[in-house]
C-alpha cells in the first residue's frame, strides 16, 4: 500500500488542454486535487482545477515550485521538452517516466521501439538529407509518406510521395533535417487502443476504437470496432506488449492500421489520454481519464467492459455551435472544453452517442 496516494493528494498535470481538463474532472470525482502547469492563461484544464502555474516549460524556478506542491506529476500532451520532465522527475514521481516521452517524440525511435517489442510497422527508414531520401525511396518504393520526426500532428509535417513527386521539392517542403520515409500502407481501417498500466505492473487495454479522419483530423471513433475478434485481440495484445516493454505507469494510446490482410501495424504512440478514447466516458465501465488517475496514484485499475456501443464525434470549429440541438438529442452526451474562440480545425468539444438497447 505504500505506493498508493490517498484521496486529497495533489496530481500535477503538465499541459492545460482538454485532456488535462477531463483528467482533472475525473480526479476530482475520486477526491484528488489537481495543479496544472501550462504557459497558457485561462486554459481548459485550469478552469476546473484547484491551482494553476502559468509559466514556460523552461522556467526552472516555477518548475521546482510546482514539483514541491504536488504528490505525483503526469502530462497531457507529448511535445513538452524531455529536459523539463527529467528535471521534474528528480523532485517528484513523474508518470509515465521521461524515457517514455522521449520515445513518443521521435518517429524513428517510436518505430524502432515498436519493432523491438515484436509489433508490426510500415516499412520505414530515417532520412536526414535529399540523398538519403532518394535512397530510401528506391528501397521502399512509391507510394510512400515522408514525415518530420518531431512535432507532426493531424497530418501536418508530412507529404505523400507518389510516382509524380519531385523528391527535391518534397524534401524542401518539409523544412527539416530529421525525417522518416514510410511505405504507404493500403489500410482497411485505422484503429487505436489505449492501454493503462499501474504502479504494480498490471496492464489493461481498452477495447479497440475504429477511427475515421476528415482532413487528417479525427472525426469519429466507434466502439466496438467492426473487425474480427482475432484482430481485436491482436491489437490489444500489441498495446499491452508496448506498455510492458516501456515499464509504463499511466496511459499509452497506440494508433494502428489494419491492413487488407488483417495485419495490425503500429503507426504512432502517445503516453497520455487520447481523443479516440473519449468514448469511454459514457460507453465504458471506466473512462480513460479515471484510469489515468488510478494508474498514477497507485489505485487498482478499473474494468474496461463496453457498457454501451458508442460513437464519439468531435466538435471541431463551428460545429460546437450545435450544442443546443445535441443537448436535446436522447442518449447524446455532450462534452465541451470551455474554449471561447472557435477557430477552424480547433477541437472545441465532442459528443458521445450511446446505443441503449
Ligand atoms: P500520422 O501523423 O502519422 O498519424 O498520420 C496522419 C494520417 O495520415 C494517418 O491517420 C493516416 O490516415 C495517414 N498515414 C500516415 N502514415 C501513413 C502510411 N504509412 N500509409 C498510409 N497512410 C498513412
Share of the chain above pLDDT 70, in %: 99
Strands of the sheet with 10-14, listed across from one edge:
51-54, 33-38, 10-14, 72-75
d(CA 221, CA 201): 28
Distance 161 CA to ligand 1 centre (A): 13
Distance, CA 258 to ligand 1 centroid (Å)?
12
Select from 144, 145, 183 the residue to mutate for testing ligand 1; criterion: most ligand atoms less than 8 Å from CB. 145
239 CA distance to ligand 1 middle (Å): 18
| Residues 282-334 pLDDT 10s | 999 999 999 999 999 999 999 999 999 999 999 999 999 999 999 999 999 99
Residue % of the chain over a pLDDT of 90: 96
pLDDT of residue 95: 98
Q: 42 CA to middle of ligand 1, Å?
A: 33
**What pLDDT, on the 0 to 100 scale, is given for residue 152?**
79
Q: Whose CA is nearest to atom 1 of ligand 1?
A: 155
Say if residue 345's pLDDT is above 70: yes
Q: Each residue of 83-121: pLDDT tens digit? A: 999 999 999 999 999 999 999 999 999 999 999 999 999
Judged against a pLDDT cut of 90, whether residue 220 lies above it is answered with yes
Nearest protein CA to atom 6 of ligand 1, as residue: 155
Task: Return the residue whose CA atom lies nearest to atom 16 of ligand 1.
Answer: 145
pLDDT at 3: 80
Least confident of 61-75, 148-162, 212-226: 148-162
| Residues in contact with ligand 1 (CB, 6 Å cut-off) | 122, 145, 152, 155, 182, 184-185, 190, 213, 216, 255, 267-268
Name the closest-CA residue to atom 10, ligand 1: 216
Tell me the Cα Rg of the chain. Answer: 20
Mean pLDDT, residues 271-284: 98
| pLDDT, tens digit (0-9, with 9 covering 90-100), for 129-187 | 999 999 999 999 999 999 999 987 777 899 999 999 999 999 999 999 999 999 999 99
pLDDT of residue 8: 98
Number of other residues whose CB lies within 10 A of the CB of residue 334: 17
- Give pTM, 2 decimals: 0.97
Q: What is the dihedral of CA 299, 304, 308, 312, to 10 degrees?
A: 80
**Confidence at residue 2, expressed as pLDDT on a 0 to 100 scale:** 55
Q: Whole-number mean pLDDT of the chain?
A: 97
Best residue among 155, 181, 192, 268 to mutate for probing ligand 1's pocket (most ligand atoms within 8 Å of CB) is 155
Q: What is the mean pLDDT of residues 328-348?
A: 96
Task: Give the model confidence (pLDDT) of 184-202 as tens digits.
Answer: 999 999 999 999 999 999 9
Ligand 1 mean position to 288 CA, how many Å? 24
On the question of pLDDT at 5 being above 80, the answer is yes
Ligand 1 atom closest to Cα of 187?
21
Smallest CA-to-CA distance from 117 within 30, 27, 242 is with 242
From the CA of 183, give the closest atom in ligand 1: 19
| 244-253 pLDDT tens trace | 999 999 999 9
Amino acid at each position: 500500500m505504500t505506493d498508493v496516494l490517498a484521496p486529497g493528494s495533489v496530481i500535477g498535470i503538465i499541459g492545460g488542454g482538454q485532456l488535462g481538463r477531463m483528467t482533472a474532472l475525473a480526479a476530482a470525482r475520486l477526491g484528488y486535487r489537481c495543479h496544472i502547469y501550462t504557459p497558457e492563461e485561462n486554459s481548459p484544464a485550469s478552469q476546473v482545477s484547484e491551482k494553476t502555474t502559468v509559466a514556460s516549460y523552461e522556467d526552472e524556478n516555477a518548475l521546482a515550485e510546482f514539483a514541491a506542491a504536488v504528490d505525483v506529476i503526469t502530462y497531457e500532451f507529448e511535445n513538452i521538452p524531455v529536459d523539463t520532465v527529467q528535471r521534474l522527475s528528480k523532485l517528484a514521481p513523474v508518470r509515465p517516466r521521461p524515457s517514455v516521452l522521449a520515445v513518443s517524440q521521435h518517429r524513428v525511435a517510436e518505430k524502432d521501439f515498436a519493432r523491438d517489442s515484436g509489433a508490426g510497422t510500415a516499412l520505414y527508414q530515417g532520412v536526414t538529407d535529399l540523398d538519403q531520401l532518394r535512397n530510401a525511396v528506391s528501397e521502399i518504393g512509391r507510394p510512400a509518406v515522408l514525415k518530420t520526426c518531431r512535432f507532426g500532428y493531424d497530418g501536418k509535417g508530412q507529404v505523400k510521395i507518389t510516382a509524380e513527386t519531385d523528391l527535391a521539392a518534397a524534401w524542401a517542403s518539409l523544412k527539416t533535417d530529421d525525417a522518416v520515409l514510410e511505405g504507404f500502407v493500403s489500410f482497411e481501417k485505422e484503429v487505436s487502443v489505449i492501454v493503462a498500466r499501474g504502479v504494480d505492473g498490471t496492464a489493461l487495454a481498452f477495447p479497440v476504437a475504429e477511427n475515421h479522419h476528415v482532413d487528417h483530423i479525427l472525426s469519429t471513433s466507434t466502439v466496438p470496432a467492426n473487425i474480427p475478434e482475432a484482430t481485436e485481440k491482436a491489437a490489444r495484445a500489441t498495446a499491452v506488449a508496448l506498455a510492458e516493454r516501456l515499464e509504463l505507469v499511466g496511459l499509452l494510446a497506440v494508433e494502428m492500421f489494419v491492413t487488407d490482410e488483417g495485419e495490425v501495424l503500429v503507426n504512432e504512440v502517445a503516453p497520455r489520454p487520447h481523443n479516440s478514447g473519449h468514448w469511454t466516458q459514457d460507453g465504458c465501465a471506466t473512462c480513460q481519464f479515471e484510469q489515468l488517475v488510478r494508474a498514477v496514484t497507485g489505485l487498482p485499475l478499473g474494468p474496461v467492459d463496453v457498457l454501451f456501443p458508442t460513437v464519439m464525434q468531435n466538435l471541431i470549429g463551428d460545429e460546437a455551435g450545435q450544442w443546443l440541438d445535441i443537448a436535446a438529442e436522447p442518449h447524446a452526451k455532450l462534452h465541451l472544453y470551455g474554449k471561447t474562440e472557435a477557430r477552424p480545425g480547433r477541437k472545441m468539444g465532442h459528443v458521445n452517442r450511446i446505443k441503449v438497447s
